[in-house]
């Protein structure tokens, strides 16, 4: 839920930049909110809600731009190079902090190039399958994956993304071999999941509640206690699995002002 307090906190952080302080009539042009993934995923959906709320408070235009690829690194690098003038923001997910440790030549430095704005959400993770997938629980999924190693595929927003790390943790803990299919964002992955071209995906619950409720997707989860209220449509798994009980957070970053040498 996007509260007034969240919107005001975001505005305060943006307006705290020296460049914005020096401007009259901010914003005098559209503010860009960069989503480092393709359209249609959870980060994209949430960012559009935030952008609408900010537009109303700023009495200006906040434009969402999708710059997907490399698990979020391409969009993050674009924001890192932008001027620290309050007109470029990044919708950040855990992949922004993870990518420099697992990818070569990431074109940004998290501590040097970004300044925090506000934490936007914390949501429960959910393990989802397409509706034709025969497994009806985590236990059945594990049994099926062990019987057919390498034959079940899962989608993600790329190496380093939340979906990827959750699935790899699940593989390691369950002792199964499922095949990774990377996408430019969770939106395209969800399209293929619903269409039956892949079988499994980890996702943050708010992004897929609609598809779960209308029967397009099946879900199993063992969510953190404080997250249960937001995921009533996800049935509890009879098999405890810590990989399906991780909470995923997201927030906003802005380019950090460069100090004069």
Give the contacts of 195 (CB within 8 A, at least 6 positions apart). 130
Lowest mean pLDDT: which of 71-75, 134-138, 245-249, 257-261? Answer: 245-249
Cα–Cα distances in Å, from 207 out to 187, 203, 246? Answer: 9, 7, 15
Lowest mean pLDDT: which of 100-109, 130-139, 230-239? Answer: 230-239
Averaged over 221-230, what is the pLDDT?
42
Going from N- to C-terminal start, the domains of the chain cover 4-122+249-255, 124-247
CATH 1.10.287.310 fits 4-122+249-255, yes or no: no
Give just the sign of the alpha carbon dihedral 13, 254, 187, 237. negative
The pLDDT of residue 242: 44
Segment 130-172, tens digit of pLDDT? 999 999 889 999 999 999 999 999 999 888 888 899 999 999 9
pTM above 0.85, yes or no: no
Cα–Cα distances in Å, from 13 out to 10, 107, 252? Answer: 5, 24, 10
Q: What length is written for the chain?
A: 261
Same fold, 4-122+249-255 and 124-247: yes
Where does the pLDDT of residue 119 fall: very low under 50, low under 70, confident under 90, or very high at 90 and above? confident
DSSP assignments along 12-39, one per residue? HHHHTSHHHHT-SSS-SSPEEEEESS-T
CATH of the domain spanning 124-247: 3.40.190.10
Half-sphere exposure of 175 (CA within 13 A, CB side): 4
Segment 192-219, tens digit of pLDDT? 999 999 999 998 887 888 999 999 999 9
């Amino acid at each position: 839920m996007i509260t007034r307090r969240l919107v005001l906190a975001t505005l305060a952080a943006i307006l705290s930049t020296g460049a914005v302080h020096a401007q009259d009539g901010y914003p005098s042009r559209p503010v860009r909110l960069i989503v480092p993934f393709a359209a249609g995923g959870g980060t994209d959906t949430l960012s559009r809600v935030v952008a609408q709320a900010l537009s109303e408070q700023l009495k200006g235009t906040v434009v969402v731009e999708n710059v997907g690829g490399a698990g979020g690194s391409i969009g993050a690098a674009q924001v890192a190079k932008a001027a620290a003038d309050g007109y470029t923001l990044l919708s950040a997910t855990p992949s922004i902090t993870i990518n420099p440790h697992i990818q070569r030549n990431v074109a940004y430095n998290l501590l040097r190039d970004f300044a925090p704005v506000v934490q936007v959400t914390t949501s429960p993770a959910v393990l989802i399958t397409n509706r034709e997938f025969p497994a009806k629980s985590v236990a059945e999924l594990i049994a099926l994956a062990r019987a057919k190693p390498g034959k079940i595929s899962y989608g993600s927003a790329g190496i380093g993304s939340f979906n990827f790390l959750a699935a790899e943790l699940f593989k390691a803990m369950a002792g199964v071999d499922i095949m990774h299919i990377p996408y430019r964002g969770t939106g395209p992955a969800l399209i293929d999941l619903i269409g039956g071209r892949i079988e499994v995906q980890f996702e943050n619950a708010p992004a897929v509640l609609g598809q779960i409720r209308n029967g397009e997707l099946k879900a199993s989860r063992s969510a953190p206690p404080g997250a249960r209220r937001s995921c009533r449509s996800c049935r509890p798994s009879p098999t405890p699995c810590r990989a399906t009980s991780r909470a995923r957070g997201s927030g906003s970053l802005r380019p950090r002002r460069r100090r004069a040498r």
